[in-house]
Every structure is written in structure tokens, then in C-alpha cells.
Structure 1
Amino acid sequence: MTSLTLQQPMWPALREHGSALAIAVALHAGAAWLLFSLSHTPELPAPAAQVIQTQLVQLPAPEPVVAAPTVVESAPVAPVPKPQPTVQAPPVEDAALALKRVQQQERRERKQREESERREQLARDEKAREAREQAQRLAAARDTEAARQAATAKARAEADAASRQYLPIAKEAPDYPQRALDRHIEGECMVAYTVDPSGRVTDPQVVGNCHPLFVKPSLAAAKRFRYQPRLINGQAVSVHNVRNKFTYEIR
């Protein structure tokens, strides 16, 4: 605050121009009040303003002097910046606890990964073991089947060696009867007989229709047949009702 004091040497001027000075002061005060009213914004709170106060000191005089009203001038105040929130660093203990929690979380995650990998490895090992066992079972089944087939073949071979069918060894065609040639007679003759254990033909007989001229040469030819004897359990046996058809054609 600034205080202005009128000294005694200014008294004659004030006395002469007192009225004019009072009017001027009143006009300035009114103008200041009008400007203050127009510039005043009711919505905003009145900021703390720096006040300049001027005070007139009146000395005793024979004539009264009208004191000028006190003029209060307000100066704009720069807006105060909004304080920024200050971020305080966490205490050392909080940082240590956070680090410990992070480390514990990492250990838990690592343990979970290891457990998952262990389970997956166990599953792979189990599948590999099952595959090996399956392969071993298949190999054993193949070996068993191969052994069974080999045993069956061996038994069949032994059975074939011990038991076999009779097989013809020698067969000769009969002689064509001259009388039938002269008469241009053709035909067929079926002969049934028995093959004895020595492979010879016994008891030949004509079966069915046969021209009389073909009976004798057919029976004679059948008696000359020779067979490999039939074996049953290594023993030669006779085979009955063996048949052979003789065909007579003139060419």
C-alpha cells in the first residue's frame, strides 16, 4: 500500500483550486467505479488483488475542503497454475514385495510348464510303450501263425508221404479189331477193374454198352495197365471200381 501525504506548502494551491480538485477527484472516482463495474465478472471469484490506496490528509483551513473519496484500483492477477500431482516413488519395502511377488509368479509359471512338459512326456512314453507292445504282439502272432503253417505243411507232407493216391504208370491202347476196320465200325467201351496193392489190374469187366468186337481188346488192354499203388498210413491198399474208357475211331 502506498500513502500520499500533502505537505503544508501545497496548502495555498489547494485553497485556490479546492473546488476544481474535488470535482476532478469525484469524476475520476465515478469513472473508476464505472470501469470497475463493467469489468467485474460476477461468475468468477474475486481474486486477491494488489490494492493501491490513496489518502488525502486535510489540514485545518478557514474554508472546508471536500475530501475526495478513497479510490481503490484493482489490478488483474495472473491465474495461478493448477498444481500437478506429484508421483511419489514407492517405498523400498513396497518395491521389494512387488519383486518378490513377480519372482513367485515366475516360479509358479515355470513349475506349471515343467509339470505340463512332464505329463506330455509321460503320455508320449506311454504311447511308445503301447506301440512297442502292439508290435511285439503282432510279431508273436506272426511267428505263431508261421509256426502253425509250417507244422501244418509238415504234417501234410508227412501225410502225403504216408498216404497217396494210385497213379497210372503205364497205359497202352488196345489193338483195333480187323473186322471192325473192315466194316468201318467205331465206338466206345467202358471197362471197370481193381488196382491191387502191387499196382496191377485185376478183375476187369465191361460196363455199359460196348460193341462185341471191342470187348476182348478192351479187357486185354486193361489187364496190361500198371499203377503206383495207393498208400494209407504208409500201407499199400487195393483200389476198387477204377474205370477207363476206350475209344475206337478210324482215321
Structure 2
Amino acid sequence: MPQSAPFDLQLPSAAWLRNAGAAGVALALHAIVLGLLLAQWSVHAPPAPQVRTLTTQLIALAPPAPPAPPQPEVSAPPPVPVEPLPPVVAPTPDPRIEQRQLEQAALARKRVEQREIEQQRQRDLEQVQRRQAEEQARQRVQAQQLAQQRQQAEAAAERARQAELAAASRPYQPIAKEAPDYPDRALDKGIEGDCTVRYRVSPQGRVEDPQVVGDCHPLFVRPSLAAARTFRYQPRLVDGQAVAVPDVKNTFHYRIE
């Protein structure tokens, strides 16, 4: 005899569950709305409506402006996708590069120090040269002053020497000269003429060895020689010593007035 199958209990489907949930939500919303209406319900009579008077006034309006032409719509460009930047990774310093950088910095510092030393040396050299130039200029000025003083001293000494020479050396100067006597015979005969006498002036200023030179009338020879012997001169001085003066000439002029 065949056995009957056991009673199977079937569970509700998913669609049935969704419909049941929606119905429950709708009932809950209706219940909430009904509760709100009951809470706001009033038993008092509504107030009488107030009568209001409406006043109208005719107003002329300006004609409406023509509508502006529609502007074309500018569509925004589509956004450009921005790719995310890769994370920045700090590079690992290379010890050799750091060592090279330190060496370059030390070399640059050494060059700067050397340049400062050279500049200081150049300034010291320029200062020494400037001092030497000032000293040379001062020495030149002193030399010029000494040369001027020496020239002035030499000029003064030369003037003094010339003065001494002038005082010690002077030419002979006549002190006394007497005119000869006109011969009577020449005067009686109306004879006129010139007679030149040459002589030597001694260191004492006296006339020595007078002689007639040139054309001289015989009547004028004796009075001319006699007059020449009476002449007196201031002696010539050479280095303070009186010396004789040879070949001194004097011409006598015989004229009848």
C-alpha cells in the first residue's frame, strides 16, 4: 500500500513580502494624516467674512519691449580628466655627491679668501706707492727750494764779487787837465790845427814819455807836450792793485776865436 507524502509547509515568496511591506507603510501614513487632522479640528464656528472694497484705476502702460534675441547656449567643455600625480619620493643623497659639494664649497671659500688677501695686498701696495709718490713730490719741492736758494745765494755771491771787482778794478780817470798855451807866432800868423799826443799813465797817475803822433804843426808840438806832462789821472786798479796804462792818446785842438 503506498504511503502518503508528508505535509510540506510553504514559505511566502519575495514578491508577497514586498507587497505586504508597501501596504503596511501606506496604512501607517494614512493613520498619521488622520491624527493630524483630528488634532487641528476646532468646534468653534468660523468668523464672518469681512467685506472689502476694491478700487480700480486705469493706468496706461508703455508698450512692452521686444524680446531679446535668444542667446545661443554655450555648452561647457567636458571636464578634462586629471590624472593623479605620482607621489614624490625624496631622492636618497649620494655620499660621493655630498663629498664633491663639500669640496667645491671649501674650494670656493678658499678662492674668496685668496681674493680678499690679494685685494688687501693690492691696497697695501697702492698705499705704499701713494706714500712714495708723496715723498718724491715733497723731495722734489725741497730740491727746487734748495736749488732756488742756491741760485739766489750764487747770484748774491756773484753780485758781491762783481761789486768787489768793481771796487778793486776801475779804469783810469783824468783828475786834472790844463789847456796848452796858444803859440804867439801861430796866433799872429792865424794858424789853426790839431795835435795828438800819445803817452803812458804810471801807476801813480802821472804822464810818462809823451810823444806827438800824426800830422801836427811844428808850432803846436812844444805846447802840446808841455800840457800833456801836467795831466793827472786816477790810477787804474786791477784786483786792488794800481797798474800802468800804455798808449793813452789826447788830441789838442787849436782854434782862433
Instruction: Calculate the TM-score normalised by the size of structure 2.
Output: 0.49
Q: TM-score, normalised by structure 1?
A: 0.50
Q: Which has the larger radius of gyration?
A: 2
